[in-house]
Amino acid sequence: MSIEKLEFQAETKRLLDLVVNSIYTNKEIFLRELISNASDALDKLRIESLTNSELAGDDEPEIFIVPDAATKTITISDNGIGMTREEVISNIGTIAKSGTKDFLDKLREASGSAAQELIGQFGVGFYSAFIVAEEVELLTRKAGTDSGVKWTSDGAGEYSIEDFDKDTHGTTIVLHLKKDFCGDGEYNFTDAHEVERLVKKYSDFVRYPIKMNFETKGKDNEEPTIEIRTVNSMKPLWTRGKSEITRQEYDEFFKQQMHEWEAPLEVFHVKAEGTVEYTALLCIPKRAANNLYYSDYEPGLQLYSRHVFIMDKCKDFLPDYLRFVKGLVDSPDLPLNISREILQQSVEVKVIGKALEKNIQKQLGKMLKDERDKYEEFWREFGKSIKIGVYNSMFDTKLKDSLKDLLLFPTSHEGKLSTLAEYVGRMPDFQKNIYVAAGKDASAIEQLPQMELLRERGLEVIYLTDPVDEFAIQVLHEYADKHFQSITQENFELDDAESQKVKAEVEEIAKMHEDLLKDVKEAIGDAVKEVRLTSRLKSGAVCLVTGEGGPSLSMEKTFAAMNNPLFKATQILELNPNHAVFKKLESLHALGKDTQDFKDLCTTLYALSLLMEGVMPNNPADLANKVTDLLTR
């Protein structure tokens, strides 16, 4: 029998290193993770045997746990689907999840409690075994095959794999415990009663029996007898009345059932007995999965019929923008042998899905009203999803209406997040539109020259800092009969009397400088559509604005990043007639529009206006030279 030694994939190695060096404070959770995997493996076998009757064995599905003080091991076995050699290598030797690398990079930068918090968001599943074990053996045989494999590793970078004769299908995992976990330290995972307590605590709702051996001391000198007992209640949590369930029970349920590492932010337990009868147990996790917006994230709810598990990741209940919601639906109105195809057509599924979507929207609205801090926590993790929902509501006014009041944006008002209603409530009477500005982040927007005057007038601006914001705002179009108006677009103007007066004055000055403006435009070339004077600047010399209705500069950047450079913003350069630079332009222009000095000043001003918008000019070296030149003049 040959033993093959293989290396873990690089990312797995780094992750294992973290696990082994045990950033996890909670050492017990390995048990929950391994039981979860065993339960999933039993589900998979049951589903497969519906279509392949040869797989259905005589043995009842079960999970068996054997703590053993003599060998300092704890063994977790299931008679589920098992794995082939190739599956062991790809499932256990690599981590396929997108975002793992990003996560590890972030983790490397974090330290102390920040690192703790981060790692808590990232379930390490099977690898959690190495929190407590110095060596792990995994013996497995795929159902329907007759040869097994043995996988062994100490978690240090390598694992070995060899053929192994295993009597039954399924997987057995033997953890050779580190000495702290066999009774010397705080924990003793070789003690049956301690393990029983943990199974009850973390895995009581697992739908397969979790069995253990218990020794009963014989009377007097009789030999002790061994009794096998099922430790978990197996009673599905959601069949109990809401009032009987504690929040802690819900939390443990989601951790066990949905592979969540932290207690969820919010739990929904819905029972309905209308045209379609169903129970749903849903949660909003505390944190967004690293790969939530990647294509390998699999959204969807678990589906049960009469408490029997039918399938996982059922996408047909909730719309895509609610992809972060986890949980299950149990309905007696859905047949046990329903296929994914039939499910897509199912009227019952549509009815349930619509009701759940409404319910989630309602609960979110309530959270926003009654528990603002919690809602903002939700928003930081999943706000993007709601904005994507608004964007997707382009042809669905009803959806738009139900989501618009769930939106939050950072604004220039005390740096807080605001709803649109709150913003509108603070608008002065003369302000007709809702002012918005797009940029990389709040501080980039605050530094836009266009902001100065607004700040001075005490006018509030909504910051669009996420690329999806602008798309969502475009789809919304208006709120409370007020249009969204970008402060960096050509047609922006302030509505108060003072501003209107200044505007008229600037128009007068512009009339007198038509030639100059034409020549500045000519010196810059086709990059800008127009050069004009503005009343929107105070101390700034220039700013760049974009054409009405077209994309903004930050939207253009988003498109460029998606390799779609066709989406170009129309650029208009605006000059402040009250700035010294304008006087300088005038005097250089008077010496001739073709002089190098005049041309240089024009192109430099344009390049600077790009920089202020966070856009790299075409020729940064040229700009640097010109600025250096100016500085030394």
Binding residues (CB under 6 A) for ligand ADP: these are 37-38, 41, 78, 80-83, 91-92, 123, 125-126, 171, 259
Structure tokens at 245: 């369930």
Strands (E), 286-325: 301-305, 308-314
CB of 142 to ligand ADP, least distance (A): 9
* C-beta of 84 vs 578, nearer to ligand ADP: 84
CB of 543 to ligand ADP, least distance (A): 50
Backbone angles phi, psi at 72, to 5 degrees: 55, 45
- Residue 504's CB is within 10 A of a number of other CB atoms, namely 10
CB of 122 to ligand ADP, least distance (A): 10
* C-beta of 57 vs 550, nearer to ligand ADP: 57
* C-beta of 64 vs 492, nearer to ligand ADP: 64
CB of 126 to ligand ADP, least distance (A): 4
* C-beta of 75 vs 91, nearer to ligand ADP: 91
Angstrom CA distances, 273 to 1, 344, 456, stand at 59, 22, 58
CB of 137 to ligand ADP, least distance (A): 13
CA atoms 68, 182, 75, 213: torsion sign? positive
* C-beta of 37 vs 232, nearer to ligand ADP: 37
Torsion of CA 15, 17, 21, 22, to 10 degrees: 20
* Pairing between β-strand 542-546 and β-strand 571-575 as defined by DSSP bridges: antiparallel
* C-beta of 81 vs 282, nearer to ligand ADP: 81
- Residue 302's CB is within 10 A of a number of other CB atoms, namely 19
CB of 170 to ligand ADP, least distance (A): 7
What is the rounded CA–CA span in Å between residue 291 and residue 102? 10
CB of 568 to ligand ADP, least distance (A): 43
Please list, in sequence order, all residues whose beta carbon lies within 8 angstroms of the beta carbon of residue 243, skipping any fewer than 6 positions away: none
CB of 39 to ligand ADP, least distance (A): 9
* C-beta of 295 vs 397, nearer to ligand ADP: 295
* C-beta of 37 vs 609, nearer to ligand ADP: 37
CB of 258 to ligand ADP, least distance (A): 11
The H or E element containing residue 545 is strand 542-546
Structure tokens at 238: 């959601």
CB of 81 to ligand ADP, least distance (A): 6
* C-beta of 123 vs 540, nearer to ligand ADP: 123
* C-beta of 125 vs 183, nearer to ligand ADP: 125
DSSP characters over 211-257: EEEEEEPPSTTPPPEEEEEE-S----GGGS-GGG--HHHHHHHHHHH
- Residue 20's CB is within 10 A of a number of other CB atoms, namely 17
CB of 83 to ligand ADP, least distance (A): 5
Torsion of CA 256, 260, 262, 268, to 10 degrees: -80
Q: Is residue 192 a contact partner of residue 212, using CB atoms and an 8 Å limit?
A: yes
* C-beta of 92 vs 281, nearer to ligand ADP: 92
Residue nearest to ligand ADP (CB): 125
Q: Tell which residue, 43, 123, 108, 37, has the closest CA to residue 76.
A: 37
CB of 91 to ligand ADP, least distance (A): 3
Give the distance from CA 62 to its chain's centroid.
34
Q: Classify residue 564 by burial, with Cβ atoms within 10 Å: 0-12, 13-18, 19+.
A: exposed
* C-beta of 160 vs 239, nearer to ligand ADP: 160
DSSP characters over 384-395: HHHHHHHHHGGG
